[in-house]
Structure formats: C-alpha cells, structure tokens
Structure 1
Amino acid sequence: MTKDARALLRKIAPAMNSYGAVLAGGTGLALRLSHRISTDFDFFTPKAFDSHGLTAKFRRMGLSPDVRQADRRTFIAIFPESKFSLFQYPYPFLETDSFEGVKVASALDIVSMKIAAITQRGVKRDFVDLYYILQDMPFQKAAAALTTRYGTAISTLTIGKALVFFAEAEDSPDPVYIGEGVKWETVKRFFEKHVRQFVLDLEAAYSDCA
C-alpha cells in the first residue's frame, strides 16, 4: 500500500466504522500476505447506507471523491490515492483484525469471496490471490469457509469449471508483485493439477451442511 493510500485509509476509518464496514478484496489480502500491490479499498457492510450522506461526509473531511456510482447498496468513487467501494453485503464475516483503525477481513473470509468472484469473472488478480491463499490453507478449510458463507448456492460444477477457465483472465493485466511474484503459467498449472481434489473437498463440505 502506498503512503498516500495508507493516509487516506486512516482518514476514512471513523466513517467506515460507523457503518460496521470491513475491508476485504485484494487490498485486505495484500495486508495479510504482502504478495502484491493493491490500493483499491473494497469495503463491505451489512447495513443499508445513504450514498449522498457518505459523499457529504467525505467532503467534510476535506476529501474530493469522484463519485462513479451511488445508491443504497453500492457506492464507488475515485480518490487521487485510491479507488473506493462500499457495498451492502448480507453475509457476516467470520473473523476480522484491525489495520489503521479499520476492520480487515480474514483469509478465511477472503478465500470464499475470491472463489465466488472467479465464478463470475476471470481476472488474473483473483486467480493469483486464490493461489497464494491456498499455499497455506488446506482445500478442506477453504471449502468449509465457502459453505459457511454461501451454503450450497454455487454449484461444485460451476466452481470446478471456473477454476480452470482462463480465457478471460488472459486479457487482464498482471498484478504488480512485491518481490519476484509467481508466474501466470505456474498459477494455471496449480489449478489444473488440484481442481479435482478441490471439487471433491467441496462436495464433502456441501454434504456436511446438507
């Protein structure tokens, strides 16, 4: 995270805490793993919110958000330091820590969100983030986290296919790594090698929660 983005995070922390918002996404994970640069702030709150009131609150702080979307469930704005998003999100977080005064989602929470994101779109950064998480997290634990958050709403077939469908991701930009980073071909081979076992673990987790 850049120095300016970190300063922005400290400044908006009280506002985010007033909504019970949690920082997740790539930046939330990068704060834990230090694997890549990510300055987008993706916050999630269980509460409905007033986007116009949030805009006014930011301006009272001396900030100048370039608002791109504003409604009761989604607020997206561009700051000079970072892209900012706040989403109403009905799923409770399993664990959080604190960084610069804001709540940050756990790897268990982020792994399930990354899997869900990959079923909806294909971008390299999501595959890369999931790859790094799964280097230290057993597949069974990731599968259990997914079912805890979403139940059986996403079929194992959909997830299995998405984890080895790279066509869309090929056209997306490479992440900016801290240090050497992993090669894209290594990421693809990892999922191709392990997708069958992950689907089996997911089916077992689905069976347990049935």
Structure 2
Amino acid sequence: MGLYMAGGTALALQLGHRPSVDFDWFAPSIGNPEQLFQRLTPSGLPYTILSISHETLYLTINEVQMSFIGYCYPMLRPPVLWPDYNIHLADIVDIACMKLSAITNRGSRKNFIDLFFITRDHIPLNKCLTLFTQKYQQRDIGHVLRSLVYFADADSEPEVKIQSEVNWPKIKKTFESEIKKLTAKNYSDEFYT
C-alpha cells in the first residue's frame, strides 16, 4: 500500500516544534477502507470509527486519532525513513505543500504554526509556493496568498503549545509581512511567465 505519515505529527517528529498526537497516514490509494479497517482491528485495542468513505478512514485506536487517506498527488521528495519505528514520513517539502493546501481549505492554527516553522527554518515561503504549484499543478495562487493572511478560523481556536519563544501574534505578523512583500513584488506574476 505504501503508507507514509504526513501532517503535524510527521512534521513534529522531524522538527520537534510542537506536541502532536494524531496520526495521518497517506498512500496513493488505500483501496477499500472497510478492508483496511478489518486489517487494523485484530490488534484488540479499543477503537471507534469516526468516518469511513471512498479512500478515507477516520478512527480512534486506543484514544489516538488516526486517518488513512488515499492521496493521489505526487510526492516531490521521497519519504524519509524513521528507523526507530520503521515508518516513512513525508519529506518537509511535501508537508509544506500539504500545509498550504490545508490552510486554503481551513486555516487552523496548527497548520499556520507548522508552516511558520517550515518557512522560518527550512524552506522560504516563496519557495514553498513554487513547490505548491508543482505538486498540485496550479498556476494561480491568489487564493493561497489570501488564505495566508486570513486568521478568523485560527483565532477562534484554543492556544497550541509551541516548543519555542514564538507566539501566535508573532506568527500572524510574520505571514502578513511575508505576503505583503510577495504581493508588492507581484510574486504571483512569476507563474504566468
């Protein structure tokens, strides 16, 4: 099946920037989610199915939230092997793209925090945006730029513990400043030339 972990926990395992306790597993296809569920349940651990539909399975196992998602978008970098547990983690490049996509759909505080640490310490925001266009084959990123400065959803969420001196107001101010710089340089025009 080729499962790899992505999302906040996969990023936290690589960066150590915040606690995260849900496991998001991806594969090009998970097949029939009910058959996948049947393979998971013999463990004897208590479970609850939260949602099951085409190519998706959301559940809790022993009170840990897990998702299994068929994800057809190509990996830009090979997954990283986490040898202690013999599992594959999505590379930070792919997680950055996925975080941008998640923010455009719903700007949760955790996604902004994760993207902040990626762009501050690993991949500049303009490079993340370029990678996003490659991964999702999208040339128009106007909606992404607008989403990066829309904080209403995230502001209504509870605080997230961060392993750093950084706080939520600083994260918002950083994205506002970065987007202002990018739009002042007509950054989105780069995708049309």
- Fold-level match, TM-score > 0.5? yes
Cα RMSD (Å) of the superposition? 1.8
Q: Which residue of 2 aligns with 1:97?
A: 80
Matched, 1:187 2:180: no
Partner Cα distance (2:187, 2:23) in 1: 31
Q: Which residue of 2 aligns with 1:66?
A: 48
| TM-score normalized with structure 2 length | 0.89
Q: Which residue of 1 aligns with 2:16?
A: 34
Percentage of pairs with the same residue: 30
Partner Cα distance (2:96, 2:72) in 1: 17
Partner Cα distance (1:20, 1:189) in 2: 39
Partner Cα distance (1:149, 1:39) in 2: 26
Partner Cα distance (2:14, 2:80) in 1: 10
Amino acid at match of 2:14: R
Q: 1:141 pairs with 127, 131, 137, which one?
A: 127
Structure 2: tracts of 5 or more residues without a match: none
| TM-score normalized with structure 1 length | 0.82
User: Relative to structure 2, which stretch is displaced further, 35-44 or 92-101?
Assistant: 92-101
Structure 1 residue 81, shift from structure 2 partner: 4.7
Q: Where does 1:19-168 land on structure 2 (aligned, <5 Å)?
A: 19-95=1-77, 96-99=79-82, 100-136=85-121, 137-152=123-138, 155-168=140-153
Q: Answer whether contact 1:160 1:196 (CA < 8 A) is retained.
A: no
Q: Which residue of 1 aligns with 2:180?
A: 196
Structure 1 residue 202, shift from structure 2 partner: 4.7
Per-residue CA deviation, residues 33-69 of structure 1 (Å, 9 max, x unaligned), is 1000001111111114222222221122233321111
Amino acid at match of 2:40: F
Q: Identify if the C-alpha distance between structure 1 residues 167 and 67 changes in structure 2 by more than 3 Å, giving closer, same or farther.
A: same
Partner Cα distance (1:181, 1:66) in 2: 37
SS at match of 2:26: strand
SS at match of 1:144: helix
Partner Cα distance (2:171, 2:149) in 1: 10
Q: Identify if the C-alpha distance between structure 1 residues 150 and 198 changes in structure 2 by more than 3 Å, giving closer, same or farther.
A: farther
Q: Answer whether contact 1:65 1:78 (CA < 8 A) is retained.
A: yes
Q: 2:160 pairs with 175, 179, 195, which one?
A: 175
Q: Answer whether contact 2:30 2:68 (CA < 8 A) is retained.
A: no
SS at match of 2:25: strand
SS at match of 1:27: helix
Q: Identify if the C-alpha distance between structure 1 residues 202 and 133 changes in structure 2 by more than 3 Å, giving closer, same or farther.
A: farther
